[in-house]
Amino acid sequence: MSSLLGRLGGAAAARPWRTLVAWLLLLAAAFALAFTVGGTPRDSYRVPGTPSQAGSDLLAERFPEMSGAGARVVVHDRAGARVPDAVLEELSGRLAGLRGTPIVAPPVFSPSGDTALITLNYRIPVTSFEGAEGLDALRAAAEPVERGGLQVEFGGQLPENFSAPSGTAEAIGIVAALVILVLALGTVVSAGLPLIVALAGLGLGSAVVYLLAAVTDISATAPTVATMVGLGVGIDYALLLVSRHVEGLRKGLTPQRAAAEATATAGSSVVVAGSTVLVSLLGLKLAGLATYSSFGYATFAVVGAVMLASLTLVPALCSLAGPRLLRRAERRTIGKPAAAPAGPTRTERWARLIGRRPVAAALASLVVMLALAAPMLAMRTWPQDAGIQAESNTTRKAYDLVTAGYGPGANGPLLVTVDLRKVAAAELPAIAARLQADPGVAAVAPALLNGAGDAAVVSVQPRTGPQDTETRHLLERMRAGLLPPGAEVTGVVAVFADISDRLASRLWVVVPFVVALSLILLTLLFRAPVIALKAAAMNLLSVAAAYGVMTAVFQTDAGAGLLGLPHSVPVSSWVPILMFTVLFGLSMDYEVFLLSRVREDWLATGDARGSVVRGLSATGRVISSAAAIMVAVFIGFAIDPDVTVKMMGVGMAAAVLVDATIVRLVLVPATMTLLGRANWWLPAWLDRLLPELRIEHGDGPAPAARERERVGV
């Protein structure tokens, strides 16, 4: 593999302008296709095999006018006067003419009369609306009311399904990354190069995501998550290659030769690390939700694109930049004998210190990691709703007005669908009475029958809000005994509850799958099952610590307040599996970067302990810089208004920070020192089964042969 990558890097460096023109043409074609035939990301909440989906299917079959998207228009008089009936009548007429021929329910006044709630039921699903189309239509219909001095806000499924990207998070991440790159590499040219490469890969990957949206449902949040991951790994991969290229220049290699050497060595690490991320993303298919799979498709496309950009654009741009990648003082020493090092670097001294006391270092770091992970045991999951959105958001304003005027449960009504072929219509009053008698129910609306008289819908308003655990308990009581067979609970709250249950159960399928695939991949590439097992265990620790930090931050008022949230919130149901698959791959990046250099030294010297010190010394600065960049990028996304993205940003920043400090600087050198030559142990039977996938560069015996000689297998 290294030889192939070396030839690829050498070819790109020898013909840099052809490489750049090819990339420009590729980007132009991708963007042209995305703009002409690309689709719009949108969420789909179908959860096959769940009670809520059974209720939704019954509505679609027999009550189609109640089965589409839902929306709410909240009209409020800030002066406290009653909202005029004439204004509401005109507004209802305009709303009835919107696309999707919505059914417009009569306005419901709050007890004080200063708030009126109009509920709309569309005949088409929310996925039929492109981008902000549905919300824009609602705003246009309500514009005359707002001109009259009344406040109008929008809530419900349709408005909440749209989230406009701000671009602020990306900008913050790029600026922070540029600053760190200048400090790490020393010149603006060398610092700007990884950013250019990452943005080129990100552009190609984003175009592919919108092309995918034309043929399958892609979640509205998926492009943002893919951008977050792609920007971080793209800069990291390019930084690793540029750093290795600069090392070659310092040794007196020509730019073309340095580019080929860097792609052969660091490029192998990029391929292994990127492949691990891609393999981990395959686990999202096992979550059992189409929306979840879309996160995998989007992130897969972007990570694949930034890998391609790193392996082709970096050598081309490095070749064009030539010695300008070096500091001025270093340019004057090119070709001259290198000065003797003044002494060991700080990273080398640290590695030696850990090597002298490996047991104490390993135990201390393990205690810290377990302490960070401990809050995870109290994690509570629930999909986000408008109550935790930014106060400037219209859906949040509508949520607050409904809570103040009608009670918190009005924001999450439960819809009971009754199959009147299985339940006698005469039983509907008794069902309503049982529901009304439950202490968790605030109100039960009269049953609505379809035209054929074979289905009914009963709306139940809980006393508590959608995220409250009491609402979940009410849902469980309704399903356990309050409702007869043939009646199902659906609606957004019930769907989200089923999503939480599905994702919680599938987490224990996804985790073994991702871990097993990563173990197989690392064993194939490094031919060291002990190394693969150790890497998997440490990555699991990093993910657990990230879960703990995220739980501690978001499930406390103080932590949530620091991030602009009104109060503590449950962890979004979407986050645990998504974070696990992404983080497991990202954590492997640093493991691969470090182990590749350690293995290189081990194969050259046979010194198991010394190779750890030298490998960590050679990669410590690069890994620390790469981690700092990724943390900066992820923290930038922590200010995103979307709560799911905010949680991903916080959790992933915490994981990368812990991984690049406690794990890479303490746990890895400590455990590798303790294991010594056993790190590279390979059973004879497994040696015969594994193919020779050489990832090192250079001449000499095959790695497997050297390992057999030195380890004695």
pLDDT digits (tens, 9 = 90+) for 398-413: 999 999 999 999 998 9
Q: How far apart are CA 241 and CA 264, in angstroms?
A: 10
Question: pLDDT value at position 443?
Answer: 92
Q: Is the pLDDT of residue 27 over 50?
A: yes
Helical H segments across 186-218, by residue range: 188-212
Within 8 A by CB and 6+ apart from 704, the residues are 527, 682, 687, 690, 692
Q: Is 131 helix (H, G, I), strand (E, B) or coil?
A: coil
Confidence of residue 687 (pLDDT cuts 50, 70, 90): confident
Query: What are the CA-CA distances from residue 359 to residues 223, 286, 609, 620 (Å)?
Result: 44, 38, 15, 21
Q: Confirm if 649 and 575 have CB atoms less than 8 A apart.
A: no
pLDDT band (50, 70, 90) for residue 382: confident
β-bridge partners, 490: 415
pTM greater than the 0.85 cutoff: no
Residue 681 has pLDDT above 80, yes or no: yes
Distances in Å between the Cα of 148 and the Cα atoms of 12, 109, 151 are 64, 19, 9
- pLDDT band with cut points at 50, 70 and 90 for residue 167: low
By mean pLDDT, which of 186-190, 255-259, 386-390, 635-639 is the weakest?
386-390
Is pLDDT above 60 for 697? no
Residue 156 DSSP label: S
How many whole angstroms separate alpha carbon 214 and alpha carbon 106? 37
Find the DSSP H helices in 380-422: 394-406
Inter-CA distances, 699 with 2, 594, 597, Å: 11, 21, 16
Confidence class for position 477, pLDDT limits 50, 70, 90? very high
Instruction: List the one residue out of 306, 316, 311 whose CA is nearest residue 228.
Output: 306
How high is the pLDDT of residue 118?
Answer: 93
User: Beta strand 103-104 with 487-490: parallel, antiparallel or unpaired?
Assistant: unpaired
User: What integer pLDDT is reported at residue 163 of this predicted model?
Assistant: 63
pLDDT at residue number 696: 52
Q: Model confidence at 694, in pLDDT bands (50, 70, 90)? A: low
- Do 134 and 160 meet the contact criterion of CB atoms below 8 Å apart? no
The Cα–Cα gap between 449 and 674 comes to 72
Instruction: Please give the backbone phi and psi of residue 441, each rounded to the nearest 5 degrees, phi first.
Output: -105, 130
Three-state SS at 58: helix
pLDDT attached to residue 330: 67
pLDDT tens sequence across 260-287: 888 888 888 788 778 878 877 878 888 7
Is 693's pLDDT higher than 90?
no
DSSP state of 381: B
The answer for residues whose C-beta is within 8 angstroms of residue 143's C-beta and 6 or more apart is none
Among 302, 370, 346, 321, CA closest to 624: 346
Q: Which two tokens stand for residue 424?
A: 């006698």
Residue 329 has pLDDT above 70, yes or no: no
Angle at 213 between CA 285 and CA 293, to 5 degrees: 10
pLDDT for res 335: 55
Q: What is the pLDDT of residue 336?
A: 55
Q: Which amino acid is at 335?
A: G
What is the distance, to the nearest Å, from the Cα of residue 412 to the centroid of all Cα atoms in its chain? 26
Say if CB 42 and CB 301 are below 8 A apart.
no
- Where would I find the H helices in 527-574? 529-554, 557-562
- The alpha carbon of 427 is separated from its chain's Cα centroid by a whole number of angstroms, namely 47
Q: Which residue has the tokens 């497994």?
A: 686
Residue 705 pLDDT grade (very low, low, confident, very high; cuts 50, 70, 90): very low
Which residues are within 8 A (CB) of 533 and not within 5 positions of it... i.e. 6 or more apart?
519
Q: What pLDDT does residue 710 have?
A: 44
**Band (84; pLDDT cuts 50, 70, 90):** very high
Distant-in-sequence contacts of 556-563, Cβ < 8 A, 24+ apart: 563/638, 563/639, 563/646, 563/650
Q: What is the pLDDT of residue 333?
A: 60
Mean pLDDT (the chain, rounded): 85
641 neighbors 163 (Cβ within 8 angstroms)? yes
Q: At what angle do helices 358-373 and 668-675 cross, to 10 degrees?
A: 140
DSSP 150: -
Which residues, other chains included, contact 360 with Cβ-Cβ below 8 Å and sequence gap of 6+? none
Decide: residue 39, CB within 10 A, 0-12 exposed, 13-18 middle, 19+ buried: middle
Whole-number pLDDT of residue 704: 42
Pair of tokens at residue 315: 């050598």
Pair 117, 403: CB distance under 8 Å: no
Residue with tokens 């329910």: 105
For 546-576, the pLDDT digits (tens) are 999 999 999 998 888 888 777 788 888 888 8
Average pLDDT of the segment spanning 302-321: 92
Cα–Cα distance measured from residue 276 to residue 550, given in angstroms and rounded to the nearest whole number:
24
Six-digit token string for 437? 């008698």
Which one, of 299, 285, 297, 217, lies nearest residue 44 by Cα?
217
The rounded percent of the chain whose pLDDT value lies above 90 is 32
The confidence score (pLDDT) of residue 341 equals 53
Give residue 708's pLDDT.
41
**Partners of 437 in the β-ladder:** none
Instruction: State both tokens at 467.
Output: 């995220």
Q: How high is the pLDDT of residue 567? A: 79
Both tokens assigned to 356: 């002298």
Enumerate the β-bridge partners of residue 155.
72
- What is the Cα–Cα distance from 500 to 380, expressed in whole angstroms? 10
- Band (2; pLDDT cuts 50, 70, 90): confident
Q: What is the per-residue pLDDT for 702?
A: 44
Q: Scanning the structure block, which residue is given the tokens 């609505």?
A: 448
pLDDT (0 to 100) of residue 563: 84
Per DSSP, the residues of 68-120 read S-EEEEEEE-TTSPPPPHHHHHHHHHHHHTSTT--EEPPPEE-TTSSEEEEEE
Of 162-171, 177-186, 216-225, 311-320, give the lowest mean pLDDT range: 162-171
Which pLDDT value is given to residue 712? 45
pLDDT score of 700: 41
Helix then strand then coil, in percent of the chain rounded to 5, is 70, 5, 25
Residues 387, 238: Cα–Cα separation, whole Å: 40
CA-closest candidate to residue 165, choices 41, 281, 294: 41
> What's the pLDDT score for residue 331?
64
Q: Which residues of 242-264 are buried (b: 16+ CB within 10 A; e: fewer)?
A: bbbbbbbbeeebebbbbbbbbbb
SS (HEC) of 485-523:
CCEEEECHHHHHHHHHHHHHHHHHHHHHHHHHHHHHHHH
Mean pLDDT across 213-229: 85
Q: Give the length of the chain.
A: 713
φ/ψ of 416, rounded to 5, equals -100, 115
Check pLDDT > 80 for residue 516.
yes
What's the pLDDT at 695? 54
pLDDT band, very low/low/confident/very high, at 78 (cuts 50, 70, 90): very high
Which pLDDT score is estimated for 463? 94
pLDDT for residue 550: 93
Q: What is the pLDDT of residues 331-362, one digit of tens each?
A: 666 555 455 455 677 777 887 888 888 899 99
The predicted pLDDT at position 75 comes to: 96
Q: How many C-beta atoms surround the C-beta of residue 339 within 10 A? A: 7
Q: What are the beta bridge partners of residue 444? A: 460
Helix (H) or strand (E) holding 617: helix 608-637
Secondary structure of residue 247 in the 3-state scheme:
helix
